[in-house]
Structure 1
Amino acid sequence: MELRDIEIFLALAEELHFGRTAERLRVSQARVSQSIKQQERRIGGALFERTSRSVRLTPLGEQLRERLDAGYGAIMAGIDEAAAAARGHTGTLTIGILGPHHQEIAAVVDLFRQRHPQCELRIREIVPTDPFSPLRAGRVDIALLWLPNREPDLTVGPELYAEPLVLAVAADHPLAGRDQVEMEDLGDHPVAYPEGPIPDYVWEAHTPSVTPAGRPIRRGAAIATLEEAFTAIGTGVVVSPIGAFAAGSRQRTDITFVPLKDGPVMRFAPVWRSAGETSLIRAFVQAAGAARNS
């Protein structure tokens, strides 16, 4: 049975009038009659009782209508979804970023929205000390995180941007007057360390546990958020490497940012749950790659 014949049958089952059915479907009345007769011959029984005054479904016709109604609805929904996908992805995609990094992905966001105007894009902040929980809990679909990432349940996309580190110290700290400092200087001062579920290997890429010469770097105050880190740094309790983007977004009289001559450069990439990959995630990664190469 062709899709058009199904449409004719369902329309006639609703209208119970050959003329109105033909008008509704913009076909001839003869086409409606011919289609119903073909369906009845194929099935082997009458689907409608016809008199000069009325048209009504037979029990067999009622049974067929119940089955075809659900199937036809599913078919049309699938066609509508495919058409929407052809015009551009639909739905909601939530991106998790570290607080000051929205400007670094502005070109990606703009390109994605141009390509998929029917998709709603949301941006949520994630904290550096707990980078993976929002992904695993489904609060974000993609997180922009620094590398490396060795989590077996997560997929890492292409690198998008890099961020150098500076050393944040109290304004009256002995290092505050220096033009630049080196990672070896961290062996002489306690540093902030994360109070959260961030894996050690991830934090090691940000704040190593030893200096280049192998001296241990002492842990000072535990911090859970960037604001807590700035508070501890401003009181002189600790020093800490800080991303240059975060430093540039903060103007504080109690903190000085000193260039780190040989500090790590943080490289960021999109990360998502392997089991939760969707067409929207793939579309965002494609846009990210295109924006990066433009």
Structure 2
Amino acid sequence: MGAAGGQLLAGATELFQQRQPDCDVRLREAQMVELMPWLRNGEIDLALGTFPFDEPGIATGPVLISEARMLAVPIRHPFARRSSVCLEDLARATLLQLPGTLPDSLRADRTPCTTPSGRPIEPGPSAATFNEMLTLIGAGRGVFPVGAHARRYYARPDVAYIPFDDAPPLRWGLLWRADNATARVHAFTQAAYDLINDHAAE
């Protein structure tokens, strides 16, 4: 999912195929609403997504990437002039929503109903794709928490990315059907883990 995820998986694929030259890997970009159906019906073997991902029958690998959270806001929003925001600030904004087809655990993490102190957060419209989400933000329809990579890969003149000063990091990892935990699935997961950790050690 997304440009940064594509780069990560391309690197993992190269390492995996060095270790498993007889295995072909096909990379596909999944929109948010496609992720679960593709996993469930076997159209894909693995997916890169954000944690927590608590869904029956879906297994998760180790955390590959942990990045700071930022709040994507319309460029004319008062938050856009600030150097940081906090989770309590969400009570003063309209929070765009993830599609209802995604796991409850994921939606609760990314689009909570209340702030940590219990103040209600106004829900906004939902979006089926990340670019649709950014379009809604740019149009002033609401705000949405994203990973820090969005500032680099999704720079837009109508959207500002403001760091949270108190939010936990956004974590990324691989997902697969628990009944499809093949040796190659585990080998690809290991290749992705090794790629990330080898780069971290450099």
Work out whether residues 84 and 163 of structure 2, in 8 Å CA contact, stay in contact via their aligned partners in 1: yes
> TM-score, normalised on structure 2?
0.88
Measure the CA separation in 2 of the matches of 1:265 and 1:116. Answer: 33
The alpha-carbon distance between structure 1 residues 273 and 147, as it changes in their structure 2 partners (threshold 3 A), is same
Q: Secondary structure at the match of 2:193?
A: helix
Aligned counterparts, 1:1-294, within 5 A: 97-294=1-198
Higher RCO by CA contacts (8 Å cutoff, separation 6 or greater): 2
Work out whether residues 155 and 274 of structure 1, in 8 Å CA contact, stay in contact via their aligned partners in 2: yes
The structural deviation recorded for 1:275 is: 1.5
Whichever residue aligns with residue 152 of structure 1, its letter is P
Cα deviation, 1:56-103, whole Å, max 9, x if unaligned, reads xxxxxxxxxxxxxxxxxxxxxxxxxxxxxxxxxxxxxxxxx3443123
Equivalent residue, structure 2, for 1:44:
none
Q: Secondary structure at the match of 1:219?
A: strand
Of Structure 1 and Structure 2, the greater helix share is in 1
Measure the CA separation in 2 of the matches of 1:203 and 1:241. Answer: 11
Whichever residue aligns with residue 108 of structure 1, its letter is A
Q: Secondary structure at the match of 2:137?
A: helix
Measure the CA separation in 1 of the matches of 2:163 and 2:68. Answer: 9
Whichever residue aligns with residue 136 of structure 1, its letter is R
Measure the CA separation in 1 of the matches of 2:158 and 2:98. Answer: 21
Aligned residues: 198
Measure the CA separation in 2 of the matches of 1:248 and 1:207. Answer: 22
The alpha-carbon distance between structure 1 residues 130 and 184, as it changes in their structure 2 partners (threshold 3 A), is farther
Q: Secondary structure at the match of 2:73?
A: strand
> TM-score, normalised on structure 1?
0.62
Across the aligned residues of Structure 1 and Structure 2, the Cα RMSD in angstroms comes to 1.9
Whichever residue aligns with residue 169 of structure 1, its letter is V
Measure the CA separation in 1 of the matches of 2:10 and 2:29. Answer: 15
5+ residue gaps, structure 2: none
Work out whether residues 157 and 285 of structure 1, in 8 Å CA contact, stay in contact via their aligned partners in 2: yes
Q: State the identity %.
A: 37
Larger radius of gyration: 1
Structure 1 runs (4+) deviating above 6 angstroms are none
